[in-house]
Structure 1
Amino acid sequence: MNILLWILQILLAVHTAIGAVWKFSNPAQTVPSLSAIPNGVWLAMSAVELLCAAGLILPAIYKPLAILAPIAAVVIAAEMLIFCVLHIYSGDPNYGPVIYWLVVAAICAFIAYGRFVLKPF
């Protein structure tokens, strides 16, 4: 279980870091339903995502920071769920992004549950 959690944490960290860098380089949201997010908040979310990506990996280097991994996973899951709510309330009939965000949120929830309950560091 520990190996699976580490693989998922690394993949999620890479995914989140790439998303954060993309947000920094593309200040205009390409998903129309996310245009309700102000540009300053959009950029702040990028910084939070970079911190979360680091929080997923740091326990491998320094064990006392192990609590950061499940917290980072919860923060990323919350962000994905906020994206889902914004998309649904925008009235966009395309639910492809919602499915993607829900899958990422489910992976985050599994990591958080795994690190809090199943296999703490």
Structure 2
Amino acid sequence: MNIFLWILQVLLALHTGIGAGWKIVNSEASIPTLSALPHSVWLLLIPLELLCAIGLVIPALVPSLGWMVPLAAIAVAVEMLMFSGLHLRAGAEENGPMFYWLGVAAVCAVIALGRLFVARL
């Protein structure tokens, strides 16, 4: 289980880091249902995502920071649920992005619950 969680953590860290980079070069208006986000919130998500990406993998170098993994996973899950909520609120007919965000939130839940209750670092 520990190896499985590490694989998920590394993949989620890559996903989150790439997402932060994507936010640097794209605005919230590039996804119509997210245009309700203020630009300042969009910009604040960049350092948050970078911190989460680091928090997911830093325990590989500093095992005493293992408490960061569930915290980072929960933060990414909250972001994905926020995006899904904005998508629903906008009444968009295309639900592909929402299912993607919910899938990422599910992976975050597996990591957080796995690290909290099953395979602690």
The answer to whether the superposition gives a TM-score over 0.5 is: yes
- Which amino acid in 1 is paired with 2:3? I
Q: CA deviation at 1:64?
A: 1.0
Q: Distance in 2 between matches of 1:79 and 1:69?
A: 16
Q: Deviations over 1:7-51 (max 9, x none)?
A: 000000000000001101113431101001111110100110000
Q: How many residues align?
A: 121
- Which amino acid in 2 is paired with 1:46? I
Q: CA deviation at 1:5?
A: 0.2
TM-score by length of 2: 0.98
Q: Runs (4+) of structure 1 moved beyond 4 Å?
A: none
RMSD across aligned positions (CA): 0.7
TM-score by length of 1: 0.98
Q: Distance in 1 between matches of 2:30 and 2:84?
A: 15
Q: In terms of mean alpha carbon deviation, does 21-30 or 69-78 score higher?
A: 21-30
Tell me the residue number matched to 1:6: 6
Q: Which runs of 5+ in 1 are unaligned?
A: none
Q: Give SS of 1:29's match.
A: helix
Q: Distance in 2 between matches of 1:81 and 1:28?
A: 16
